Amino acid sequence: MDTSHHDGYEHTAVSTHREGFPWKDIIGLVLSLALTFTSLHIVLTHALPIGALITAIVVLAVFQLFVQLFLFMHLTEKTGTRSNIGAMAFGLFVAFTIVAGSIWIMAFNSSSS
Amino acid sequence: MAYSIPSDDHEHAIDTSGPLEYSTEENKLKILGFWVFLGAEFVLFSCLFATYIVLHGNTAGGPTSQQLYDVNGFMTETMLLLVSSFTSGLAIHAMRNNQKNQMIVWWIITMGLGAGFVGMEISEFVHYVSIGATISRSAFLSGFFTLVGTHGAHVTLGFFWMLSILIQIIRKGITPITARKAFVVSLYWHFLDVVWIFIFTVVYLTGKVV
């Protein structure tokens, strides 16, 4: 800890932290582009039966979600608190439950009426 | 009530060993708070996704998703937002290396790509409305405009938020406070790309095959 910049720190504090070449961002971009165009290709060529096709592109979207969270948003970097992982996981759990639960109950509705 | 007056050294201690946005306890807490907000935003969008998916087939004799969606249009929107998510990451990377000018350049490129995305989406919506596919035409279109429009409103807000942070960076430079503000808006921007990935997959791609 460096308190030597005590007076007027707001304008003079400079972190000694430095980062090298932004590999994480570039790998993230390449992976995102690959996943996006794979999804598009599967859809345009109707490469799979409809159920398998939708499952495949949703799985690819979830991969891209993880690319963004880990490579772009630095979810797991050790500089902050780790509680953000719990907040994200809980938000995603509730989101998944709402979407999957809605599809499930509405599919049941239409098959029973 | 006995409050101890915190000494300046303790309260405003700056840890300069890590990135500047994490250099104070207040900054760390505010960044964590923003992650909690993003968790809640995921839940908000999940409700709109659930509504859209359930109502997708209810076209009431109006246009279907297969007739409406244009592959070139939504692919362009996807590329603009994806690359802007990348460039906002590069802006934060430059910020962490204390390269103010580089950071500002990437920041402005990010805003330009974001503005291009919003412009594309507005022209898409105007086109739909011009051929009679309005929000009140069918349950499918109500779900579509609510979901995609809410995302577009978020991107528009994000654009003006980035503009305000850009002005602060230019005027005050990279300080613990402006670094934290810039980092938080970059998290928001990446989050909007995450939501768009699911709109791209669940709304546009799926809408082309079902």
DSSP 8-state symbol, B23: S
Please name which of B119, B37, B135 lies closest in space to residue B81, comparing C-alpha atoms: B119
DSSP 3-state of B8: helix
pLDDT tens readout for residues B96-151:
999 999 999 999 999 999 999 999 999 999 999 999 999 999 999 999 999 999 99
The pair of structure tokens assigned to A13 is 């504090």
Domain ranges of chain A: 21-76, 78-107
Residue A107's pLDDT is: 84
pLDDT tens readout for residues A26-56:
999 999 999 999 999 999 999 899 999 999 9
pLDDT tens readout for residues B74-86:
999 999 999 999 9
> Using only C-alpha atoms, what is the Rg of chain B?
21
The pair of structure tokens assigned to B106 is 């990437």
pLDDT tens readout for residues B59-76:
999 999 999 999 999 999
Rounded to whole angstroms, how far apart are CA atoms B27 and B2?
26
Rounded to whole angstroms, how far apart are CA atoms B95 and B173?
10
Rounded to whole angstroms, how far apart are CA atoms A54 and A42?
10
Residues in chain B: 210
CA distances (Å), origin A43, targets A64, B130, B158, B208: 17, 27, 31, 8
pLDDT tens readout for residues B40-60:
999 999 999 999 999 999 999
Interface of A with B in 67-96 (CB under 8 A): 68-69, 72-73, 79-81, 83-84, 87-88, 90-92, 94-96
pLDDT tens readout for residues B155-169:
999 999 999 999 999
CA of A17: which chain B residue's CA is closest?
B18
Does pLDDT of A65 surpass 90?
yes
Chain B environment of A106 (Cβ under 8 Å)? 54
Q: What's chain B's average pLDDT?
A: 93
Rounded to whole angstroms, how far apart are CA atoms B165 and A67?
26
**Quick check: B63 and B131 in contact, CB under 8 A?**
yes
Q: Among B39, B194, B209, whose Cβ lies nearest the Cβ of A50? A: B209
Domain ranges of chain B: 41-52+74-202
Is the CB of B32 less than 8 angstroms away from the CB of A80? yes
Measured from the Cβ of residue B123, the count of other Cβ atoms closer than 10 Å reads: 11
Does pLDDT of A10 surpass 90?
no
DSSP 3-state of B122: helix
Rounded to whole angstroms, how far apart are CA atoms B163 and B155?
12
Q: State the nearest Cα–Cα gap between A8 and chain B, in angstroms.
A: 11
pLDDT tens readout for residues B178-203:
999 999 999 999 999 999 999 999 99
Interface of B with A in 99-158 (CB under 8 A): none
- What letter represents residue B181's amino acid? K
Backbone φ and ψ for B70, nearest 5 degrees, come out as: -110, 120
CA distances (Å), origin A48, targets A43, A53, B132: 8, 5, 33
- The CATH architecture annotation of domain B41-52+74-202 reads Up-down Bundle (1.20)
Does pLDDT of A7 surpass 70?
no
The secondary element (H helix, E strand) that includes residue B127 is helix B100-130
Residue B76's pLDDT is: 97
